[in-house]
Structure 1
Amino acid sequence: MTTADDLIARVRAYNPRTDAALIERAFAYGARMHEGQTRRSGEPYFTHPAEVASLLTEQRLDDATIVTALLHDVIEDTRASFFELERLFGREVAELVDGVTKLTKIQLASSETKQAENFRKLFMAMSKDLRVILVKLTDRLHNMRTIRHMTPDKQIQKSRETMDIYAPLAGRMGMQWMREELEDLSFAVLNPEARNSILKRYAVLRRESGDVIERITADIEAELARVGLDAAVFGRAKRPFSIWRKMEEKKVGFSRLSDIYGFRILTDTEGDCYAALGAVHQRWRLVPGRFKDYVSQPKSNGYRSIHTTVSGRDGKRVEVQIRTREMHEVAEGGVAAHWSYRDGVRSGNRFAVDPAEWLRQMTERFEEASDHAEFLEAVKLEMYSDQVFCFTPKGDVVKLPKGATPIDFAYAIHTRLGHRTVAAKVDGMRVPLWTRLKNGQSVEVVTAEAQTPQATWIDIATTGRAKSAIRRAMKAERRTGHVRLGRELARTAFTHLGKRATDKALTTAARMMGYDDGDDLLAAIGASEVTARSVTQILWPELVRDRPVADVDPAAAIVGLDPRARYDRAPCCQPVPGERIVGITHAGHGVSVHAIDCPRMVEFEDQPSRWVDLQWSPGRHAAASAVTVEMTISNDAGVLGRICTLIGEQNANISDLRFVDRKPDFFRLLMDIEVRDREHLRAVLIAVETDSDVAEVERHRVAATPVPVPA
């Protein structure tokens, strides 16, 4: 077990000015508080906090963080309190220990809704002081190193949680060494057979090829010496989980993997980095598409390095990372490098990222998320992302995750710019908004004042920030429309009883029905969550009960119409059972039934007296409803026949088909399909969309036959 003297000696090695008395007092206090407690291994419990503190000295962290590690479990597991820690060790330490305690109570491996809620708590706790998560990550690392003493079920739970959350978080913070070790420790629990097979392959490879790492290291050193560069070279075999992930991604066996060795060159200056790169490329052939320059375009967590893969000795591919020693300190410590000490003072590494700025970037896009699921999606997108670097027309750099589109680019600059995007130019050429951006491209966003976010953008966007902003804008727009529609439906229902839909009446009904205010109630009416009639029934039950209401004929498909009324499905939107619908009255022509999102509804906004609140009668739908679908398919033999078969397999009938555009490489066509309801239509569209020869499929909603409007 690490002793107090051992720990103080390790801290003194990088911080001669350490407060040894503070660390000694914290060590003694922690040992006393945990006295009598044991770990599952049978060791005294305090061996764990002592080892966590020892691990943190490897990152050369400040006294407050080391003391926090020693005390990180005392509030949760002993009689110690926040106020006692504040009195004995100061407010800074007390708040850090309290932060770690709160993180420990967050159960991240749970249902998705709960996980999202707790993930939000984790990020909010991190935002107060990043050292809290540094202690928590190191705590998890030591627990994973000693996980064999836990029960099998607990091992699997902790390993999944580590693989899904803590390892990616360590990587996002720039602590790649910790990410790799956490992943590999989890891999050993979750898939021990696969890990052991890779270790056996390594052993066979060493027997057959000898010490390849030593030979390639010597080759690189000789090449650098030839050009007069003073640099250190290190080599290693990649961890089993890293190899396994490559095998899974590339769908190849171990024998077909080439870059299973990694080498690192450490130089004194940035100029030497590029000189070393030149020497490596001059001696060995570059593998196309495997070069990244994070020196000129660093990652947001401060990481800087040049990555290249070359065909080395005996044709073996090797990955080479080239960086300065200062860059290496940040690459090893990530965001933690901000607190690193050397000779008693902060190291002052010019590449270290300000934790406050890093946290601001990480949290600003999450804190406005309107629901937990959206927050979870945004966090995971950010944590698992690699990066590309694009330029604005003025030459400013915009960092984006791999696979980002011009939509993401626009929202990364400003939310307002994203909302108004209508087109984009990449390197001066007009491109579709779904184009995947590449490193070094120049992107120009074309905007229009009247533009608003489109529903399809959610599928186009890849960043959490863009998706959240689009959803918020669309939700606000939908709510405005629902409130407007709900007000008209409520007015009509109130008028039928001789009442007025005043703000007071709506507020009273909202309170009685559990809504915050009248607008929330109107939005619910407009969204078909409640009916306007149910509101009048709450306010004046005797009037609604005594007023004769026409019963719906059991055979009728729609509720809300007089049984004698004539109605038809509007051809402009072709509503189907399961969709929110509304009726528009036409003198002498009955009622036309529209989907609530029908583009033609705007024509009747100034004629609220013609609106009728309708809904589909459960279980009384017509046998089939025709819906027109527009699709673009490859112009290849057998494609159309296969699409028709897919639709038939979904028990849907094709009643008509017409081509609207024929090109050498594709067809665009309209197809009338008979479906039972909205879910049936959705199943048909999904089945068609999954075919690789279908470029696009969507519902066709352009009026072919005008809806009759009285003179």
Structure 2
Amino acid sequence: MTSTPSAAAVPGSTLPAYYRDLERRLSEYLSADHVAKVRRAFEIGADAHEGQARRSGEPYITHPVAVAGILAELRMDWETLAAAILHDALEDTPLPREVISGEFGEPVAELVDGVTKLDKVRFRSRQEAAAESFRKMLLAMALDLRVILIKLADRLHNMRTLDAMRPESRRRIARETLEIYAPIAQRLGMNKIKSELQDHGFRSLHPWRYEVVSKRIASQPVVRRESMTKLEVQLSHKLASEGLKHRLIGRVKSPWSIYSKMRNEHKSFDQVMDVFGFRVVVEKVSDCYLGLGAVHGLYKPVDARFRDFIAIPKLNGYQSLHTVLFGPYGSPVEVQLRTEEMDLIAERGIAAHWMYKSGSSASSSAQNRAHDWVRGLLESQQDAGSSIEFLENVKVDLFPDEVYLFTPQGDILSLPRNATVLDFAYAVHTDVGNHAVAARVDKKLVPLRSQLSSGQTVEIITAPSAAPGPQWLEYVVTSKARTAIRHHLKRLEHEDAVKLGHRMLDRALEALDTSLDRVPSARFERYLGEQRYRRMEDLLADIALGNRMPAQVAQVLSAEGSATPAQPYGGGMASEQILITGTERGVLSFAGCCHPIPGDDIMGYLTTGKGVVVHRLECRNVSEYRKSPDRWVPIGWDRQVEGDYKVALIIEVENRPGVLAQVAAAVAESDSNIDSVEYRERDVSMAVLHFMIEVRHRKHLADVIRRLRRLSVLHGVQRL
């Protein structure tokens, strides 16, 4: 192992100018030993990338050094800087990981691993590769948040130098930056990096729009600039007269923020720019509230436009007081008041944690929130079906606007805008969400789909028998709730598939005069191993889903020691039927050609990937299905059948006003829902209607038809 050289081991004059600039910045806050370690990383990185160039023609090593320079502005530690310089070395050069861990220790090697893109795994699409790379990055973030800081700095420098890329690559990278990386920077409180990422992304994705907005900002009228100056003087004088030490900064909107506001709020450029913005930075928290009183004394506040993010911080740790004033020039004046520490955290987010060597409470709190967020993402990614699904969930979770809600105990929960009671329930705990039935919002009973507003107190009502249904996915906006519901439904579908597959294999074995209990366990284990099933449940679920034919599985399992000839699985109507309740999720569906309902004579047809499709025996397609007896499943209705079932009716009525309403009323009076209705034929005297209604069973359908036949306008009704 090579020993780490001292800071003076390599003469500074031999280093390139771009690295000397970085080292000058590092010497302002790092010790000589740590500066030397970063220099050693540069030497190894420069040697590894020797001969490689960027698209711009510059030596490749200039990119990782520039990434380290961005992190040096955030005053990150030497390990982060060394990893930043080496972050592409594992992927793009022959440099082995052992050299990095040997020279700088395992933490630096793990950081480099975390930001290394996937290059050895082949994916079906570029989208899947990007999604899987993002999933890997989040796994590394869970171990060390510095991974995301390096990744954001890497993306920022790439965006600064994006002009060297081809137009289609520029647009793809810009879109990914605006959809993923800029929102992540905002979610971690790093507003300065977020704003620059957004503006570079805007310029690359919509160059013409960017130019138009930028020129309009640069050519603001002199009157506006003078008004801004006068307001700044008046505010500063008022704060000073109250004895408050402060910094007052006029806020300038970025091209992306102006464009987004114009697009999302349907405002013109002049309407967006007709707002003056100031930031007041003071010494103590109490000074923030004193300053608020001072500016309210100068100009009247706009009602309902005050937000206290100091008492209730944002999810990313952001703290500030926000107010809007009636300005003297007919334009609103937005004022934010915060302490120096809050200002630093607002600009740098979790990166501020490394700037406070003493470990300030605010910076630690921001980092803890970031850890909690990443842990929550990792929980959801375990239940996500694919990397792409996980990435879409993360996008949903990156909403910039939140609502702040209270539990009955007074705890505060932050949720995205448009969050519902069900989102709140899952935010409390997954088990609370899974068993939620209703809620009391400010002591009033409301359903689970109700949207919530900031300041409300929410109490979730649960019941042991309650469970998520597919419709719950329409009620939620958070990724945690969505993935928890999907996971529960998939588990239920798997359980139903296992039960149905067990019954199907039992029937197939009975046709061969044996049973599952009589199959030797060694033979069963051998079959599972040969077919690469980890356990019996996976085989049974595959049978129910139509991926394995039960008759074929039964023949293999009973082959040894059985002289009984193999019979087709269907076995005709003489075979004992499998009874269904209609609630077998994911493995049972009802054919759209004949719409079977409880009470009908039915048969099942095994379809690969879909499971059992149920048909009426008189269905016109049954004769075709009988040609594949191995896929025919003898089924019948259980005694306890649940749910509503669709059925199609053809109704002939007189063609006159109000007839459709009479028919709909008769269906509703029969306690049946109308799913759809359409005219099939229509002439001067007659109309033929196609109704799709929901009924519970054949008796219920008979009640509907009986009530329809009482109508004087009806000439005929029949079931399709």
Fold similarity call, TM over 0.5: yes
Post-superposition Cα deviations, 1:467-497, rounded to whole Å, max 9, x if no partner, equal: 1222222222222222222222222222223
CA distance in 2, matches of 1:94, 1:404: 40
The aligned residue for residue 683 of structure 1 is: none
**Quick one: which of 321, 333, 338 aligns to 1:306?**
321
Shift of 1:367: 4.0
Contact map agreement 1:59 1:337 (CA 8 A) in 2: yes
Contact (CA 8 Å) 2:353, 2:363: kept in 1 or not?
no
Counterpart contact for 1:232–1:267, Cα < 8 Å: yes
The structure 2 residue matched to 1:223, chosen from 231, 238, 251, is 238
SS in 1 for 2:169: helix
What does the per-residue CA deviation read over 1:480-536, in whole Å, with 9 as the maximum and x for residues that have no partner?
Answer: 222222222222222223221336476566555554332122223334554533433
| Contact 1:309–1:318 (Cα < 8 Å) also in 2 | yes
Deviation per residue, 1:530-587 (Å, 9 max, x gap): 453343355568999966759xxxxxxxx98659999xx9999997425999998x8x
Please state whether the residue corresponding to 2:419 is helix, strand or coil.
coil
Conserved 8 A contact 2:111-2:144:
yes
Cα shift readout 1:153-195 (whole Å, capped 9, x = no counterpart)? 3222221222222111111111111111111101101101111
Contact 1:388 1:400 in 2 (8 A): yes
CA separation in 2, counterparts of 1:180 and 1:579? 56
2:288 to 273, 291, 294: 273
Q: 1:121 to 1:291 in 2, by over 3 A?
A: same
Residue 621 of structure 2 aligns to which amino acid in structure 1?
A: R
* Post-superposition offset of 1:674: 7.4
The structure-2 alpha-carbon separation of the partners of 1:354 and 1:320, relative to structure 1 and needing over 3 Å to count, comes to: closer
Secondary structure in 1 matching 2:315: coil
Q: 1:181-200 residue pairs with structure 2 within 5 A? A: 181-200=196-215
Matches within 5 A, 1:400-411: 400-411=415-426
Q: Distance in 2 between matches of 1:114 and 1:224?
A: 54
Residue 371 (structure 1) aligns with: 385
C-alpha contact (below 8 Å) 2:505/2:550 kept by paired residues? yes
Residue 85 in 1 paired to residue 100 in 2? yes
Deviations 1:429-484 (A, max 9, x none): 11121111111211111111221222222211221111122222222222222222
Residue matched to 2:665: 658
Distance 2:156 2:335 in 1: 27
Structure 1 residues not aligned, in runs of 5+:
551-558, 597-611, 630-639, 645-653, 663-667, 676-697
Q: Is the 8 A contact 1:387 1:399 kept in 2?
A: yes
Distance apart, 1:23 and its partner CA: 2.9
What is the Cα deviation at residue 283 of structure 1?
A: 3.1
Q: CA 1:263–1:545 in structure 2 vs 1: closer, same or farther (change >3 Å)?
A: farther
Q: Distance in 1 between matches of 2:352 and 2:121?
A: 26
Q: Alpha-carbon deviation of 1:322?
A: 1.7
* Residue of structure 2 in register with 1:427 after alignment: 442
Report the secondary structure of 2:601's partner residue.
strand
Pick aligned residue for 2:646 from 621, 627, 636: 627
Q: Residue 572 and residue 165 in structure 1: after superposition, are their counterparts in 2 closer, same or farther (change >3 A)?
A: closer
- 1:650 corresponding residue in structure 2: none
Q: Which amino acid aligns with 1:517?
A: R
Distance in structure 1 (CA, Å) of the matches to 2:421 and 2:700? 38
1:602 equivalent in structure 2: none
Task: Give RMSD over aligned pairs.
Answer: 4.4
Q: Which moved more, 1:462-471 or 1:218-227?
A: 218-227
Stretches of structure 2 that go unaligned for 5 or more consecutive residues are: 1-15, 607-611, 624-644, 649-657, 679-691, 703-720
Further displaced range: 403-412 or 104-113 = 104-113
Partner of 1:591: 601
Give 1:216's aligned amino acid.
L
Deviations 1:356-412 (A, max 9, x none): 663343234324314124422332222235322211111112222222112121111
Q: Is the 8 A contact 1:494 1:536 kept in 2?
A: yes
**CA drift at 1:97:** 2.5
Secondary structure, aligned partner of 1:237: coil
Q: How many residues align?
A: 630
Contact 2:524/2:557, CA 8 A, preserved across alignment: no
- What is the aligned counterpart of 1:525 among 543, 547, 568? 543
Choose 353-362 or 139-148, whichever is displaced more: 353-362
Name the residue aligned to 1:688. none
Give TM-score, length-normalised by structure 2: 0.76
2:58 aligned with 1:43, yes or no?
yes
CA distance in 1, matches of 2:448, 2:197: 38
- Work out which of the residue numbers 266, 279, 283 in structure 2 matches 1:251: 266
1:621 is displaced (CA, Å) by 8.0
State whether residues 602 and 616 of structure 2, in contact with CA within 8 Å, keep that contact through their aligned partners in structure 1: no
Which amino acid letter does the alignment assign opposite residue 534 of structure 2?
D
Match of 1:336 among 320, 343, 351: 351
Tell me what 1:6 maps to: 21
Judge conservation of contact 1:572–1:704 (CA < 8 Å) in 2. Answer: no
Letter of the 1:658 partner, please give it: A
The alpha-carbon deviation at position 31 of structure 1 amounts to 3.3
The answer to whether residue 483 in structure 2 is matched with residue 465 in structure 1 is: no
Task: Give yes or no for contact 2:438–2:445 (8 Å, CA) kept in 1.
Answer: yes
Q: Give the whole-Å Cα distance in 2 for the aligned partners of 1:106 and 1:208.
A: 59
Question: Counterpart of 2:655?
Answer: none
In the alignment, is the contact (CA less than 8 A) between 1:560 and 1:613 conserved in 2? no
CA contact (8 A) 2:227 2:329 kept: no
Amino-acid identity (%): 35
Distance 2:206 2:122 in 1: 23
The one-letter code sitting in structure 2 at the alignment partner of 1:193 is: W
SS state of the match for residue 536, structure 1? helix
* CA shift for structure 1 position 707: 10
Cα–Cα, structure 1 residues 106 and 432, in superposed 2: closer, same or farther, change >3 Å?
farther
CA apart distance, 1:669 = 7.6
Q: Counterparts of 1:513-592 in structure 2 under 5 Å?
A: 513-536=531-554, 539=557, 562=573, 576-577=590-591, 591-592=601-602
Q: Structure 1 residues 84 and 627 mapped into 2: Cα distance closer, same or farther (>3 Å)?
A: closer
CA distance in 2, matches of 1:404, 1:706: 39
Pick aligned residue for 1:671 from 674, 682, 686:
674
Cα distance in 1 for residues equivalent to 2:605 and 2:327: 64
Deviation at 1:211, TM superposition (A): 4.6
- Say yes or no: does 1:157 pair with 2:164: no
1:201–1:312 Cα change, 3 Å: same
- From the superposition, tell whether residues 236 and 570 of structure 1 become closer, same or farther in structure 2 (CA, over 3 Å): closer
Moved more, 499-508 or 60-69: 499-508
For 2:78 and 2:575, how far apart are their aligned partners in 1? 83
User: Does the Cα contact within 8 Å between 1:657 and 1:670 map onto a contact in 2?
Assistant: no
Change (3 A) 1:21 1:530: closer
Q: Distance in 1 between matches of 2:269 and 2:385?
A: 43
The aligned counterpart of 2:397 is: 382
Q: Match of 1:37, SS?
A: coil
* Secondary structure at 2:437 match in 1: strand
Match of 2:371 in 1: 359
Counterparts of 1:214 and 1:276, CA distance in 2: 19
Q: SS where residue 264 of structure 1 aligns? A: strand
Verify: 1:418 aligned to 2:433, yes or no: yes
Over 3 Å counting, the alpha-carbon distance change for 1:674 and 1:547 in structure 2 is farther
The offset of 1:137, in angstroms, is 1.0
Cα 1:619–1:212 change in 2 (3 A) is farther
Aligned to 2:49: 34
Aligned mates of 1:659, 1:113 — CA distance in 2: 52
CA distance in 1, matches of 2:20, 2:361: 29
Give the corresponding residue for 1:553. Answer: none
Provide the C-alpha distance between the structure 2 equivalents of 1:93 and 1:564, rounded to a whole number of angstroms. Answer: 67
1:325 aligns with: 340
Instruction: Judge which range, 442-451 or 6-15, deviates more.
Output: 6-15
* Structure-2 separation of matches of 1:109 and 1:257: 44
User: Hey, what's the Cα distance between the residues in 2 that align with 1:627 and 1:583?
Assistant: 7
Alpha-carbon distance in 2 for matches of 1:389, 1:61: 32
- Find the aligned partners of 1:702 and 1:311 in 2 and give their Cα distance: 62
